[in-house]
Amino acid sequence: MRRLVSLALLLACLVVPLGAYVRLSDAGLGCPDWPLCYGNVSPHHASEAIAAAEASRPEGPVSQAKAWKEMIHRYAASTLGVLILGVAVLAWRRRRQRVSASLLLGLVVLQGLLGMWTVTLLLKPAIVTAHLIGGMLTVTALAAMTFVTRSPVVVGAGVWWTTRLLPVAVLGQVMLGGWVSTNYAALACNGFPLCSGGVPDMHWGQAFHVWRELGQTPEGALLPFSALMSIHWAHRLGAVLVTALAVSVLWLSRKTPGTGAYRLLLAVTVVLQLGLGVANVVLQLPLPVAVAHNAGAMLLLVVSTVFSLGIRRAVPAGSRTERSASWQS
């Protein structure tokens, strides 16, 4: 079971950046039906239908290359689903980690539905963002099953609280990043650290209205550029919050034995993410950097979650709270 979980984790770490690559290269509608491609198992078998669609709209979302990108992602995601189904079956047969495996299987089923709705609802931002979050949570759950031990490091209350809060903040920042990407707002602000030379006026209602079509307001009008700037700026503010919280974790845990590996990984991933985020703005969103930024977000969520699950709060000896914490660990 451990080998199967590790294999699923490795594949999931490829599927999530691959999904980002499909989205960022505008290949999300390369095959406009689901789960097949124009009713066929591969773009090769659907070549005539793809050629006709491309001829009618040369600048449209369909081409042979885009169809292959989309279908390769579907093949990889389907394989991951089969592996996780195998993990769930083994968990129930061996009576180990049944709850974790069942929740993970439920998450993957939801991911499949979100993948279908991403295509059938024509890249609606709320669905695409939810699909991204589902992929991140899948990787994080597999990493927790793989790396979290039964002997957590005992830490003080300050370290415990800030470390518990960090993955929540990172997940919120990932959601903001997904909202930036799915609304095509990554280039709405030029320059760094300011947004086109200043701080934009925030239009929260238009920028963060959840259920609407891509590029439109809820009323069907074109989404104003000021809303895109607001989305982008909110993501930058979120980065400041996450960085401050991560620095707090690193500072508070600097003298805590047993946290050295956690702190090193956290410091490296935070610096990496900040650098990739700035590079996206300064270099005008090159595709490799944008995909790497997505992968870095996944890694930061995994590291912060495993760190938080790998510790427990120190309590007075012999207290009821200590016995409860020991039982839960």
Per-residue H/E/C for 117-133? HHHHCCCCHHHHHHHHH
Burial 85-104 (b: 16+ CB within 10 A, else e): bbbbebbeeeeebeebbeeb
CA distance 74 to 35: 8
Neighbours of 243 (CB within 10 A): 16
Per-residue pLDDT tens for 240-268? Answer: 999 999 999 999 999 999 999 999 999 99
> Mean pLDDT in the chain?
92
3-state secondary structure of 155: strand
Per-residue pLDDT tens for 41-98? Answer: 999 999 999 999 999 998 889 999 999 999 999 999 999 999 999 999 999 999 888 9
Q: Is 219 annotated in the active site?
A: no
Query: What's the average model confidence in pLDDT over 274-302?
Result: 97
The model carries a pTM of 0.92
In contact, 142 and 100? CB cutoff 8 Å: no
What pLDDT score was predicted for residue 148?
85
What pLDDT score was predicted for residue 317?
57
CA distance 278 to 232: 12
Per-residue pLDDT tens for 298-328? Answer: 999 999 999 999 999 987 555 555 445 544 4
C-alpha dist (Å) from residue 323 to 188, 242, 315: 53, 33, 9
What pLDDT score was predicted for residue 1?
87
First to last CA, the chain: 21
Structure tokens at 216: 């439109």
CA distance 245 to 326: 27
Query: What's the average model confidence in pLDDT over 6-31?
Result: 96
What pLDDT score was predicted for residue 281?
95
What pLDDT score was predicted for residue 327?
44
Per-residue pLDDT tens for 82-125? Answer: 999 999 999 999 988 899 999 999 999 999 999 999 999 989 99
What pLDDT score was predicted for residue 211?
92
Per-residue pLDDT tens for 115-157? Answer: 999 999 989 999 999 999 999 999 999 999 999 877 889 999 9
Catalytic residue, from 70, 213, 219, 322: name it.
Answer: 70
What pLDDT score was predicted for residue 228?
95
Query: Which candidate, 86, 43, 88, 84, places its Cα nearest to that of 63?
Result: 43
CA distance 36 to 46: 10
Query: Which candidate, 98, 127, 97, places its Cα nearest to that of 112?
Result: 127
CA distance 124 to 117: 8
What pLDDT score was predicted for residue 316?
56
Query: Which candidate, 232, 262, 231, 234, places its Cα nearest to that of 249?
Result: 262
**Which conformational region is residue 36 in: left (phi greater than 0), alpha (psi within -120 to 50 degrees), or beta?**
beta
The number of CA neighbours under 13 Å toward the Cβ of 191 is: 8
Domain boundaries of the chain, sorted by first residue: 1-147, 151-329
